[in-house]
Every structure is written in C-alpha cells, then in structure tokens.
C-alpha cells in the first residue's frame, strides 16, 4: 500500500487531499479564478497543481509522492447537470484538465490512477458523504470538491 497519496477532484475549482499512511493530513484547494479562455484555465490549474506536487515532493514528508488518484470524467445521461455541462463544453474542458494533471504527475515519475465518480461514490449523495467525513474527521467540508477529494481517498483506503 502506498505511503503518500494525493487524491484529486479536478475542475475549475479543484481540490487535492493529502494522505500519509492512510491518514488524511491536509487539503489543497485551487481554482482558475476569473479566466475565461479554456487554454488559460488549463494552464493556471496545471501550474497550481504542479506547485502542489513540487512542494510535497520537496517537503519533510520523505520527499516522495507514491501515488496520485484523479477523478475521471464521466457523463451521466440521466443527469440534467451532466447534460448541461456537456452541452456547454465543460466536460471537454474537464477532460483537458485531467490530462494535464496526469501529465504533471507522470513527467515527475509519480504513478497516477484514474477513478470514475461511479466507481468510488456510486449513488451516494454529497450530503451523506459530507456527513461521513464530518463523523470520521470531525470537520466540515467547505465544498463538494473538497468532499470528493476526501471521499476518493476514503474509498481507496477502504473506509467508504
């Protein structure tokens, strides 16, 4: 089992949860700000994510990230939110962001895995996920992105 893991909910408002020995350590949040050009959005988010990777690699935490798990893009035809997002081109943008994050990892020799929302979360509502996180960690998530990043880790470590 990898010792140092980062679990990521990518997007315009991204969140990355840092895990050490299967224990949740910290949350990193980053977003694209008010950028409207898709290329600028991907570039800014990737730079922020790369900074997170570099700051953890060179930190006192053994200087190594063993694995990054990124939530993949998934289209839900039965979800009005997913259909609207696809229509606006947001799912395509999300796919670019995921690819850029994967490249940021692999170019540093960090193994990366993708996991679909359906695989780690299934039909679990965000309210229920937030309640689990609050119970386990005695903390409240400030966004669904933060809850997802933590939820992906809980799933990976068999705690969800």
pLDDT digits (tens, 9 = 90+) for 59-88: 645 668 999 999 998 776 666 665 666 566
Residue 142, domain extent: 4-156
Residues in Cβ contact with 124 at an 8 Å cutoff, skipping those fewer than 6 apart: 151, 160
Q: What is the pTM of this model?
A: 0.90
What is the per-residue pLDDT for 157?
A: 96
Q: Where are the beta strands (DSSP E) in 10-134?
A: 13-20, 23-31, 67-71, 112-115
Residues in the chain with pLDDT values less than 70: 35, 57-63, 76-89
Here the tokens at position 69 are: 């798990």
* Total of domains in the chain: 1
CATH label of the domain that carries residue 51: 3.30.420.10
Give yes or no for a contact between 115 and 157, defined as CB atoms under 8 angstroms apart.
Answer: no
What is the per-residue pLDDT for 60?
A: 45
CB-side exposure of 66: number of CA atoms within 13 Å?
A: 12
């Amino acid at each position: 089992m990898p010792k140092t893991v980062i679990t990521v909910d990518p997007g315009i408002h991204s969140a990355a949860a840092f895990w050490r020995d299967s224990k949740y350590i910290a949350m990193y949040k980053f977003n694209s700000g008010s950028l409207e050009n898709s290329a600028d959005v991907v570039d800014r988010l990737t730079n922020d994510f790369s900074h997170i990777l570099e700051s953890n690699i060179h930190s006192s935490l053994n200087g190594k990230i063993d694995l990054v798990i990124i939530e993949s893009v998934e289209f839900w035809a039965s979800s009005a939110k997913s259909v609207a997002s696809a229509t606006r081109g947001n799912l395509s943008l999300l796919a670019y962001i995921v690819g850029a994050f994967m490249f940021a990892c692999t170019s540093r020799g960090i193994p990366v895995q993708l996991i679909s929302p359906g695989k780690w979360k299934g039909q679990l509502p965000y309210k229920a996920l937030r309640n689990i996180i609050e119970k386990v960690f005695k903390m409240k998530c400030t966004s669904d992105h933060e809850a997802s990043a933590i939820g992906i880790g809980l799933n990976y470590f068999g705690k969800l």
